[in-house]
Amino acid sequence: MPGPLLAAIAATALQPAAPAPPPLAGTWQGTIGGRAVRACFVQRDWGAFGAYYDMARLRLIPLTAEEGTGSGFSEGGGDAGTPRWQIVHAGPTRLTARRTSGRRTLPVQLRRLSGPQGEESPCAGVAFHRPRLAGIGTVTARVTYSGVDHDRLTLDTGGRFGIEVVTFALDGASPAIRRINAALAAPLAGDPPRWFECVSNSLQQGAMEGEYSEKLEMVTMTRRWLSVRYQQGGYCGGAHPDASSSYRLFDLTTGAEVNIQDWFNDRAIRRERVEGVSEEVRTLQPAFRAFLTESWQPQDAECGEPIRTAEYWNIGLEGDGFLFGPQLPHALAACYQEWGPGVDMLAPWLTPEALAQMRALRAERP
């Protein structure tokens, strides 16, 4: 007679194996009731997720897997009462499901457009989003800043994406102006455009698409220089949102972008070559950092030490002076401040060429 342990093992061996999850991964197109939709599903070792959009509205709706069901998905973040999908069948070419919202249930009939592409998320690819990208444009408005007339360019997604892009274009058609305008328009250019990276990155590991903002605005325009404030932020996947603010400087005579840190001498800026990093790494010399912060007062006591020890700083040209701001980790973003000692005080830290440029800027003042 077999013992109880052997009997239990034998009984377990005779039980049917748990059904494999349906082959959902891929891009699909079809209908929910009478509405045309496009959907995607991703299957990972840890679980599944998906998304879809109505071909008329083109706004993404996340599909979050319901724990323990294997074939159930909730729309949105999976909150109670939201519409849900119950997958009935998923095969090589066809997928059927039921979508229930309240007391109403509609049939879902989809045909496969493409299968999974290695580790790439079907929800992240351009092929899935192509109808949403079609027809996205730019709104142009005439504006004036500090007496300079120019065009403000604003991305218009028609509400399809949580993306904000605002930049501008200078008047004129010289080679230098065309070069600068091309650099300023870069956030709007490309197929797919650069901002789509945020959408794609978010959908690599989850059902929610990213939200992102990118802005370029004029700070100062002189006879020779264009100073631009660059701000970007949002959530594109990962542990937490991201945000940053910096400056860019363009030479109006050549159209070239200039690193304003080149205006500061080696007493102010430490320049290093680091293995594996293509660009020169630049940090503030301790003495220059101490000079910048010696007369500065933090807006909060907790911000003092992080700012006084920050190695990486933003430097921007404003009028005939400079603005300085420390680059801080996300958790200390609220501590960010900008200030600028007078150019006369900065003279020992500037190159001779920079001093000449600052004198020329001062001479332009009315």
pLDDT number for residue 14: 52
**215 with 283, same domain?**
no
**153 with 172, same domain?**
yes
**111 with 172, same domain?**
no
**Measured distance CA(180)–CA(227) in Å, rounded:** 11
Of 258, 276, 299, the residue at which a domain comes to its end is 258
Which residues, in sequence order, are CB contacts of 112 under 8 Å at separation 6+?
26, 27, 28, 92, 93, 94, 95
**252 with 182, same domain?**
yes
Question: Tokens for 286?
Answer: 């301790």
- The residue type found at 8 is A
Of 133, 166, 189, the residue at which a domain comes to its end is 133
Which residues, in sequence order, are CB contacts of 266 under 8 Å at separation 6+?
285
**176 with 127, same domain?**
no
Please report whether residue 316 resides in a domain: yes
pLDDT number for residue 97: 97
**143 with 245, same domain?**
yes
pLDDT number for residue 18: 46
**357 with 283, same domain?**
yes
Strand partners, 143: 150
Q: Which of 252, 248, 249 is nearest to 175 (CA)?
A: 252
Please report whether residue 288 resides in a domain: yes
Please report whether residue 118 resides in a domain: yes
**Measured distance CA(268)–CA(343) in Å, rounded:** 14
**150 with 226, same domain?**
yes
Q: Which of 101, 241, 248 is nearest to 168 (CA)?
A: 248
HSE, side-chain direction, 13 A CA sphere, residue 166: 14
| Mean pLDDT, the chain cut into blocks of 10 residues (366 residues total) | 50 50 86 97 91 97 87 84 93 96 96 84 94 96 96 97 98 98 97 95 93 97 97 89 93 97 97 84 95 88 92 94 92 89 94 96 86
Please report whether residue 17 resides in a domain: no
**Measured distance CA(92)–CA(234) in Å, rounded:** 37
Q: What is the CATH number of the domain that holds 175?
A: 3.30.565
Ranges assigned E (strand) in 115-210:
137-145, 148-156, 162-169
Q: State the sign of the Cα–Cα–Cα–Cα dihedral 332, 337, 343, 345.
A: negative
Range of the domain at 88: 26-133
Question: Tokens for 358?
Answer: 């600052």
**68 with 176, same domain?**
no
pLDDT number for residue 9: 46
Length of the chain (residues): 366
**56 with 125, same domain?**
yes
Specify whether the CB–CB gap between 245 and 231 falls below 8 A.
Answer: yes
Please report whether residue 5 resides in a domain: no
**52 with 110, same domain?**
yes
Look at the chain and report how many structural domains it folds into. Answer: 3
Of 237, 258, 279, the residue at which a domain comes to its end is 258
**224 with 313, same domain?**
no
Please report whether residue 8 resides in a domain: no
From residue 36, alpha-carbon distances to 29, 61, 107, 204 in Å are 8, 14, 12, 24
Please report whether residue 19 resides in a domain: no
